[in-house]
Structure 1
């Protein structure tokens, strides 16, 4: 029996106003072909299917059209899809009755009753091509504070943080109930959270905060769970010897992810559920120029020319580029020159940063604590980073007016 683990599709994402529908469509078509080629029996999608809580009609059509394609490629395919922190959990569950009839299980929220988690809903049997149950999956969506049993925010005196203790208790209880039903069959789990030790992508993933905590140790997942399929972190990576794994996003969602080897994770039950990373071709190229720091516009222009971009590339398939330019003359002049340069090239601008030399030379430092700064100080720092110059009195006045209405 073969299982494919994927996550963090973020259907509907835009980048600097550019739609990424072409990339998502190409990825989903490739995933369909992979399901057929690798003879996949079950597909696990561990959250952040959509990029936001109000996905467009086109984003939803893209998802459900892809599900139909997967099932045409393999009518016996089982799909288990859980919600992430970006997803509209209840909207994701809305077509549940229809999808369940097709072998598609969509779990947007954690359903609990007086006796605990509803295991009839969250524990799903996985069957091979001969319709024999070979494993079970414990489908757990993104957890909110109300989902964690006995959570008392701000409580002190325990051996570990309260959120960690509550998450540990929840997973232990579910694993015990699942093991009683699964007997000796392998038990997999799904989740959408940050595990301590996981490598995050700067500026790409929202830090999920519950009670001031954003990461839990991977050992909150009991040993009874043979494999834990996680979503949320976009870099493919394994924890706890491979038992706990992030499949990562299917292609870069930000500049921080340009160097990642994006893909999906294949699990073969007959080979002991050892995760195997399958790299995916990148639907659209993404570049950061220069690769580190900032450079004068002339150097950036030379690097752009060296990309040898095809002028015949359709607009929706053109490369994305992040530019970071040193401000060696007035920022408005550099911006105008850069925009004129870009207008003549077959590419799409993801972001343009113009940085003063003295700012670029300052080494990274830890951010100040809230007690050491103020909202206006943070606004000034953000303005400098975005525009490469100091805000004038009009900018400060507009910020103060906005703050007065909060």
Structure 2
């Protein structure tokens, strides 16, 4: 049996005012090609299908039209889709009765029966094209504090984090129920959260704390889960030797994702043996950062853009994105307006223009390369470094005084 794991599609996303709808249409077409070429039996979408709580009718239509097309390409395809922190959970579930007709299962919230979690509602048998059940999905959407057993009355004096203990207990209960239902067949869990040790894409992913913690260790997923298909972090990456994996986002959703190898994960299920491989999907639109590192003298911007070999015949909504970081050789406002004038009329979409002082950029890189322990640094140093990183300028006396007053007031 072959399973395709994807996540973090973010339908409805815009970047610096530019719609990504045309890119999403092409990406869904290419995903359909992969599903057909790879002879996929099960499609798993691990959250953040939409980018916001009020997706447009066009975005919803694209999703459901695509799901029907996937099923047309693979008539025995089973789809399991869970909600992420960006998704309108109940709206995602609303067409459930209709989606059942194409063997699509949507879990937006934790299902309850009376006061207990109805765990069987989250367990879906996964069949090969011959119709034989080869594995079971344990479909868990984005968790909220109310979903975790005992969290509200957790012993604050107990050892370790009450959130981690509650998350571990939650998944252990699911594992026990799933094992009783599935017997010896593999269990494929789904989740949408931040695992400790995974790499974030700076500025791209919203931290989703549960009770004050935003990351949980992979140990919250019992070993009886043969594979854990995660969403939320946009870079494809493995944890726990590949047993726990983020498939990554569909294409670069921000400048911080330019370096990612975007694609999907294919699972090969052969009895108890599960192997996975990454399949890249070509980006619908290019994404350039100028310069690739550091800052650029504004006088060199025109030549740098000329070297990109731009296609003037591309539709506007498929033209490449460009993100520029310029040195503040003069007043920042002047440098910015001159850069905008330079890029105006070119077949590019401006994803962002930053104007910073070169010495501030160099200092930020130096700070990033010299990790220190908390014992070696005081809170004011942390504030000054954070202010410099955020604003690319040093804090003024009034900022430092305000920080000191806030610190004194917290004692």
SS of structure 2 residue aligned to 1:362: helix
TM-score by length of 1: 0.90
In 2: Cα distance, 1:252 partner to 1:217 partner: 26
State the shift of 1:155 in Å.
Answer: 4.5
- Local SS of the residue matching 1:45: strand
Tell me how far apart the structure 2 counterparts of residues 320 and 360 of structure 1 sit (CA, whole Å). Answer: 23
- The whole-number CA distance in structure 1 between the counterparts of 2:243 and 2:290 is 37
CA distance in 1, matches of 2:112, 2:83: 16
- For 2:228 and 2:387, the matched residues in 1 are separated by 43
CA spacing shift, 1:315–1:363, aligned 2, 3 Å = same
Show the 5 A alignment for 1:39-118.
39-114=39-114, 116-118=116-118
Please say if residues 383 and 390 of structure 1, whose CA atoms lie closer than 8 Å, have aligned partners that are also in contact. no
Matches of 1:208 and 1:89 in 2, distance apart? 15
What is the match of residue 223 of structure 2? 223
- Cα distance in 2 for partners of 1:26, 1:180 equals 42
Q: Deviations over 1:147-189 (max 9, x none)?
A: 0000048853323211100000000001000100101111110
Q: In the TM superposition, what whole-angstrom CA distance separates every residue of 1:1-54 from its partner, at most 9, and x where no partner exists?
A: 110000000011000000101111111001111111111010000000001111
After superposing the two structures, state which structure 1 stretch, 93-102 or 179-188, moved more.
Answer: 93-102
- SS of equivalent residue, structure 1 residue 171: helix
Tell me, yes or no, if the aligned pair for 1:319 and 1:347 is still in contact at 8 Å. Answer: yes
CA spacing shift, 1:153–1:347, aligned 2, 3 Å: farther
Any unmatched runs of 5+ in structure 2?
369-373, 399-411
The 1-side partners of 2:174 and 2:248 are apart by 25
User: Hey, what does 1:401 align to over in structure 2?
Assistant: none
Q: Distance in 1 between matches of 2:364 and 2:17?
A: 31
Do residues 345 (structure 1) and 342 (structure 2) align?
no
- List alignment gaps of at least 5 residues for structure 1: 394-406
- 1:295 aligns to 2:296 (yes or no): yes
CA contact (8 A) 2:238 2:245 kept: yes
Q: In the aligned structure 1, how far is the partner of 2:151 from the partner of 2:254? A: 34
CA shift, 1:99, in A, is 0.7
Q: Identify the residue that residue 20 of structure 2 maps to in structure 1.
A: 20
Q: How many residues align?
A: 389
Residues 1:349 and 1:60: Cα distance change in structure 2 (over 3 Å):
same
Give TM-score, length-normalised by structure 2. Answer: 0.88
- Residue 382 of structure 1 and its aligned partner are, at CA, apart by 9.0
Return closer, same or farther for 1:336/1:116 CA change in 2, 3 Å cut-off. Answer: same
In 2: Cα distance, 1:216 partner to 1:390 partner: 34
The structural deviation recorded for 1:268 is 1.0
- For residues 388 and 259 of structure 2, what CA distance do their matches in structure 1 show? 28
Q: 1:399 maps to which residue?
A: none
Match of 1:355 in 2: 356
The equivalent of 1:313 in structure 2 is: 314
Q: What is the CA–CA distance in structure 1 between the aligned matches of 2:69 and 2:264, rounded to whole Å?
A: 18
Q: Is the 8 A contact 1:11 1:21 kept in 2?
A: yes
Give the whole-Å Cα distance in 2 for the aligned partners of 1:122 and 1:215. 23
Alignment of 1:324-335 (within 5 A): 324-335=325-336
Q: 1:383 & 1:230 partners in 2: Cα distance?
A: 30
Aligned equivalents of 2:155, 2:363: Cα separation in 1: 40
1:181 matched to 2:152: no
Partner of 2:133: 133
1:235 Cα deviation from its structure 2 partner: 0.6
Q: Could you give the per-residue CA deviations for residues 81-127 of structure 1, whole angstroms, max 9, x where no partner exists? A: 00000100011011111111220000000112357321331000011
